[in-house]
Structure 1
Amino acid sequence: MSTNADVESLISLISSSARVAAAEWQRTGTDVPPLSEAVTHPIDTATDVVALQQALRTLEGACEHLTTLLSPPGSVIFRRTFNPDTHLLRIAVEHKVPDILAKHPNGLSLTELSKIVNVPELKLGQIMRGLATRHVFVEVNTDIFANNRLSHSIRSYLPNGLYALASRGLNETQSAGSNLYESLCDESCGPSFEAKDSPFMHMARKDGFEGNGVFGWLEANPARRENYAIAMIGMGYSCGGLNVLHAFPWQNYTSVCDIGGSVGTVSMPLARKYPHLRITIQDREEVTQHTIDHWASNYPEAVAENRAHFVPIDFLTGAPVEGCDLYYMRFILHDWPQSDAQIIVNNVRKAMSPKSRLLIHDYMITPLDRKSGLVEAREHGIEPAPEPLLPNYGAGRARAHCMDIGMLLQYNAKERSLTEFLELATNAGLKFEKHWDLAETSMLEFSIA
């Protein structure tokens, strides 16, 4: 296909996918609100957004592909090497600028905002304009800023968890990223795949921490541990992780074990939607008491009706509770290197009965070469992106690769390909049943072989 034909194909993909995405917004009964308005929309916290996200992965992939195709290389390289977004956003998040501006719906002057956050007015102006240029905040008049749709969504007191998610990404993940080159050059950490040698831990040791991994670091830093738990709620909304409530036939089962379920990010909405389910949440002992308190405060009926149970587990040394219909793991295996991930899957297999299913819900790394993508489509029903997009949708699946690098930075771990998931399952005596396309993420279903 010629380059001109690629351009026309990309324009067509942009047009068609944008119309589908807009229709999904309008399906809620209201139009898409302007970015400049500090408003919420029902779709912001909707849990059934598979169709929207499928359209967006094509739209994002096609827009980025077309812009890169039509831009001189120097322009693209400049944007990617001088991009200050995370640095600017960290200032706004750490100083809780969205909270401050929420009290001033008509806008607040840089002079007044500067006094509140204790950042020089001139520098703050540079930061706020950089963010507003990327649609975070809006400059309503010269040197007067207000919240817009994006900044409105990361107020720290909202229950959506997005403030905590942003805080985690901008602190633990980005700080580890700044140390990636140094850790790779380190004679000990560079060749290691152990959690204690991740870029984050390499940095933490420089700061005097003597533990073995990120989870130990979180235990030593209670405020960041609490932020981590809330950030998992934000993950559910940001990646469409709650699509699974609608995509999978939970009504056909009676019991679920949520392994590594934290405070019940998925389990609580699952229990609300399917009250017939008996749900067991298993996580580290230090997390379990926090989970019990969370349910007592937010859904005591499920506890009183004996529908929710809380059992500590170290899934590297023990098996989960036996006999459940479903064993569900969301964003668990990506925290661990392959050897530890194999132990976890082996332990789950020990608890499963012949009728049980293991559901692994994670980001999945899909092939960048179309030949391998077609093999996956033929054998496992995972369709590659339409041409001329990259087979993995390119920018449309960028968050999968952001998470992949995030796992490297923090845990010396990774997001996995289908082949790697199948290897874990086969080695544990499990067989592949189905791939559930949740647009942003994937869920793989396995049974006993």
Structure 2
Amino acid sequence: MSTDIVQLGELISKSIATIVKTCEDNKITIPSLTDIDAPASEELSKFPAAVDAVNIITAAAAQLVTTISPRQHSLMTLANAHFRTAALRVAIACNITEILREAGSQGLHINDISAKANVDPMKLGRLLRILTLFHVYQEVTPDVFANTRISLGLDTGKSVAELQADPTRKHADTAGNVAMIEIRLDDGAKAANVFLEHMQDPKSAFSYDPALSPCSRAFGIEKTLWEIYRMPEYTSNSTRLNVAMYSLSKHNFLKPLFSVLDWSKLPQDTLVVDVGGGLGSISLALARAFPHLKLVVQDDAAVLADAPKLWSKEFPEAIENKRVEFQPHDFFEPQPIKNANVFLLKHILHDWADAYAVKILKQLRAASTPETKLVIGDLIILPSCHDPNADGDEAIPGAAIKEAPAPLLPNFGAANESPYSLDLNMFGLLNALERTLDHIKRLMKEGGWRIVSISRQNPPSIFWEGILAVPADD
């Protein structure tokens, strides 16, 4: 009988063969950490068989390491994780990737890196070296560091001079990937550091008040994250969040939202209301893809102030043709639009604990017609074991999920960490959460809606999955 480590090794070997064959068949370079001009791992995401292979390798390798390592090593690796994230935060803040990009592939000595970053070389060198253990950078010769394919994911694309001239605009006019990472390393990490205190304080321990989140404790300000971000001293935090959210519209994360409803078959001038839509980044993607839609983006007036500028730059014809409108609205108040064909809630419900989320849903239900559709973009959390109740979810089209092969955890383990980390990020920043499918169904029922279909991403999910609902019978 095969032991777990043999099975894990066989899964890894078979999956590697799949990746090599995919690369050969499609004439793309086999993944390499140092070949920064050929990011093959990103290219592999175009091929379903390769995606499955990558997920299996990631899960199996992590499980294999944990299986054969002394348990104290595994526990200390977890306990020391904050040093890696702290080092990564320093690297981003000090523009290390951009400094190394300008230095060229031969790399740069730590003394020269530190001089450009205006930090102590001995301290910075130790932080960069721990990142080399995880291949974020490479040490080409002693104390000489260079970028890898991984570290180039931290490149804003700006010059070092531009970044240093105005650090508050580091993420402005960028793709947003780095902003998304820095939010986790900055405000997210600060919030995580006080989880224990939040859970032991009688005032916050059993409260889901967003003004009592771990983040508000970390900032020392008893306000919601949104209220904190509106304070002048946190303008750059707010800008960073807007840039990060906009980056989502540039990636394949949209697929579940685009596939859960056949947008192309909706009638001419179908009215889509993007509730809490921020700058309207997802509406912008919808407007580009489906020119027959009319869109209303709703959010706080201060948030919407920058939306016309974004749309005028990215898709001016939508404004010229009056296909988009920007409407200040608090989604806890009665919905002013009573004739919407589609309400869109993208990354909204996960920002709020149940009592608040139900209030949002009820306001939309009160404003809906019998034909109104509700499209939700949120994650669906899986248990880490087989869920026998999941078999019953096949009554909802698209709800079934593919489990990982044994002996991997059914939810793909380490390969599927992202939704669980995002769940804790929501806890830390907003005292909110991601939800399991059963939890979501209960929430929707209480809010007056019924799920009719789901568009899921087989693990690892990244940022959301699509949920389509209709008004429940009164």
TM-score by length of 2: 0.85
Give distance in 1, aligned partners of 2:19 and 2:62.
17
Structure 1 residues 418 and 371 mapped into 2: Cα distance closer, same or farther (>3 Å)? Answer: closer
Q: Which structure exhibits the higher relative contact order, with contacts defined as CA atoms closer than 8 Å and separated by 6 or more residues?
A: 1
Q: What is residue 356 of structure 1 aligned with on the other side? A: 372
Q: What is residue 402 of structure 1 aligned with on the other side? A: 421
Identity percentage of aligned residues: 26
Matches within 5 A, 1:136-285: 136-157=136-157, 159-205=174-220, 209=221, 211-220=222-231, 221-235=234-248, 240-244=252-256, 247-248=259-260, 249-253=262-266, 254-285=270-301
Structure 1 residues 21 and 406 mapped into 2: Cα distance closer, same or farther (>3 Å)? Answer: farther
Structure 1 residues 48 and 271 mapped into 2: Cα distance closer, same or farther (>3 Å)? Answer: farther
Of 28-37 and 389-398, the range deviating more from structure 2: 28-37
Give distance in 2, aligned partners of 1:116 and 1:146.
15
1:224 positional shift: 0.8
1:320 positional shift: 5.9
2:440 maps to which of 406, 409, 421: 421
Give distance in 2, aligned partners of 1:78 and 1:324.
53
SS in 2 for 1:103: helix
Q: Counterpart of 2:99 in structure 1: which amino acid?
A: I
Give distance in 2, aligned partners of 1:348 and 1:45.
40
Gaps of at least 5 residues in structure 1 are none
Q: Supply the RMSD in Å over aligned alpha carbons.
A: 2.7
- Number of paired residues? 442
1:236 positional shift: 5.3
Q: What is residue 447 of structure 1 aligned with on the other side? A: 470
Q: What is residue 434 of structure 1 aligned with on the other side? A: 453
SS in 1 for 2:236: helix
Structure 1 residues 43 and 322 mapped into 2: Cα distance closer, same or farther (>3 Å)? Answer: farther
Matches within 5 A, 1:88-167: 88-106=87-105, 107-157=107-157, 159-167=174-182
Structure 1 residues 70 and 234 mapped into 2: Cα distance closer, same or farther (>3 Å)? Answer: farther
SS in 2 for 1:38: coil
SS in 1 for 2:468: strand
1:16 positional shift: 4.6
1:289 positional shift: 1.4
1:88 positional shift: 0.5
Structure 1 residues 49 and 237 mapped into 2: Cα distance closer, same or farther (>3 Å)? Answer: farther
TM-score by length of 1: 0.89
Of 312-321 and 326-335, the range deviating more from structure 2: 312-321
Structure 1 residues 281 and 39 mapped into 2: Cα distance closer, same or farther (>3 Å)? Answer: farther
1:413 positional shift: 0.8
Give distance in 2, aligned partners of 1:216 and 1:49.
43
1:352 positional shift: 2.6
SS in 2 for 1:438: coil
Give distance in 1, aligned partners of 2:157 and 2:307.
20
SS in 1 for 2:87: helix
Structure 1 residues 111 and 149 mapped into 2: Cα distance closer, same or farther (>3 Å)? Answer: same
1:152 positional shift: 1.5
SS in 1 for 2:57: helix
1:244 positional shift: 3.2
1:382 maps to which of 373, 384, 400: 400
1:41 positional shift: 4.6
1:131 positional shift: 1.1
1:416 positional shift: 0.6
Give distance in 2, aligned partners of 1:24 and 1:264.
37
Of 101-110 and 194-203, the range deviating more from structure 2: 101-110
